[in-house]
Amino acid sequence: MSGGERKPAGGTASGGEQQASGNASYGKKPFKRSRSHFADRVTADGGDGWPVEAGRYRLVVSRACPWASRALVSRRLLGLEDALSLAVTDPIQDDRSWRFTLDPDGRDPVLGIRYLSEAYDARETGYPGGVSVPALVDVPSGKLVTNDYQQLTLDLATEWTALHRPGAPDLYPEPLRAEIDEVMEGIYHDVNNGVYRAGFASTQSDYESAYKDVFRRLEETSARLADRRYLVGDSITEADIRLFTTLVRFDAVYHGHFKCNRRKLTEDPVLWAYARDLYQTPGFGDTVDFDHIKRHYYQVHTGINPTAVVPLGPDLSGWLTPHHREELGGSPFGAGTAPGPVPEAEEVAAAGRP
């Protein structure tokens, strides 16, 4: 089969990954998130052979995927829109995974490919793993550079500084990195990945274990945020980005679809206010597409939602209501400034906004 038709393998998920046996396999086998297979880094010194260079790379994302959404937020906050072009996939995968059917003729206009898997194949012929987003692709060669969703945003913050906009915030400040890393590790295991372990659990005991982890960590995080505006320090850091991308999906998909239903986000006053604060901060909510999110989870995961019916709710209007978190002090961008307007071509359609 050609690159665009290859079916990825595995029963694991790395980033926004498609499983080999198709959408119906979700929830029918034990869930384990795989490590990123392609972990090259784009750095200032080009140590892995990929130097930071304006216009050279293309960021491929799905607005449905929380792992890819981290990169969307980081790119906006840092002002990298002109330096790092953006490709947005269709939220509905087929068994060949992420596809560019939102673009004219079903091809990405820059890379010229129909499926993200073609960039994977250009990098490694016969690669047996899953096709995941976010993915950074080298435009001249058409080859995948990295699908390491954990490292990608850290590098955008620390290695791409020469291309940051004036006033870009420091999302990974060196004096706070140890604390940021510790906070992110717990949130990753219990919340970011925990909702997936619950949603894709194939046994009652696996589900219950993941469910308990999710809400234990959310309760601890709520207590942490009760008297501080942000997770670490007095401004937004990488830790806030990683928590936000799960919280913003919680009531829309994780509460019902993934059975994380002890309580809704809107029923935790602290986390709900915190999430609204971030959503209303430029660079966060303007990257979120609730339409893509709901259609992806409910229509792709037919193993756990065989009818593929997409719920009409929840009511999204609350995301725009006052949060009063500014009363806790702190400044969202630290010594920096807010990003500029969203480029017109990247605006989220009305169907995906409150």
pLDDT at position 241, please?
98
The residue to which tokens 């400034």 are assigned: 337
- Rounded CA gap, 279 and 268, in Å? 16
pLDDT, position 129:
84
pLDDT tier for residue 23 given thresholds of 50, 70 and 90: low
Does residue 168 lie in a domain region?
A: no
Containing structural domain, residue 329: 174-352
pLDDT given at position 32: 56
Query: Quick check: is 339 in a domain?
Result: yes
- Predicted local distance difference test score (pLDDT) of residue 204: 98
At 15, the pLDDT band (50, 70, 90 cuts) reads: low
Q: Which of 107, 131, 163 is the last residue of a domain?
A: 163
Kindly report, residue by residue over 262-313, the tens digit of the pLDDT: 999 999 999 999 999 999 999 999 999 999 999 999 999 999 999 999 999 9
183 and 77 in a common domain: no
54: Cβ contacts below 8 Å, ≥ 6 apart: 82, 83, 84, 163
Q: 198 with 61, same domain?
A: no
Say if 71 falls within a structural domain.
yes
**For residue 237, what are the CA distances in angstroms to 153, 157, 181, 188?**
11, 10, 11, 15
CA 16 – CA 36 distance, rounded (Å): 11
Q: Are residues 157 and 247 in the same domain?
A: no
Regarding whether 275 and 202 lie in a shared domain, the answer is: yes
Same-domain pairing of 213 and 342 = yes
* Separation in Å, CA 153 to CA 2, 29, 35, 37, 41: 31, 30, 16, 17, 11
What is the percentage of the chain residues whose pLDDT exceeds 70?
90
Give the model's confidence band at 126: pLDDT under 50 very low, under 70 low, under 90 confident, else very high.
Answer: confident
321/179 same-domain check: yes
pLDDT for 33: 55
Give the residue numbers marked as catalytic. 65, 196
Question: Of 114, 135, 163, which residue constitutes the final position of a domain?
Answer: 163
Structure tokens belonging to residue 179: 């604390």
CATH number at residue 107: 3.40.30.10
Element (H, E) at 141: none
Tell me: the pLDDT tens digits for 326-345? 999 999 999 999 999 999 99
Decide if pLDDT at 353 tops 70.
yes
Of 305, 312, 296, nearest to 91 by C-alpha is: 296
Report the CATH number at residue 227.
Answer: 1.20.1050.10
Mean pLDDT of 175-195: 98
Look at 25-29, 77-81, 246-250, 282-286 and tell me which has the smallest mean pLDDT: 25-29
Residues 336, 208 within the same domain? yes
Q: Same domain for 196 and 225?
A: yes
For the stretch 53-77, pLDDT in tens is: 999 999 999 999 999 999 999 999 9
pTM of the model: 0.92
In this structure, the answer to whether residues 206 and 335 fall within a common structural domain is: yes
103 and 215: one domain?
no
Q: What is the pLDDT of residue 26?
A: 58
Distance CA 299, CA 296 (A): 5
Q: Structural domain tally of the chain?
A: 2
With cut-offs at 50, 70 and 90, classify the pLDDT of residue 162.
very high
Same domain, 153 and 187: no
Residue 11 in domain: no
**Residue 275: closest CA among 248, 299, 296, 252:** 248
What's the confidence (pLDDT) of residue 37? 84
Same domain, yes or no: 132 and 205: no
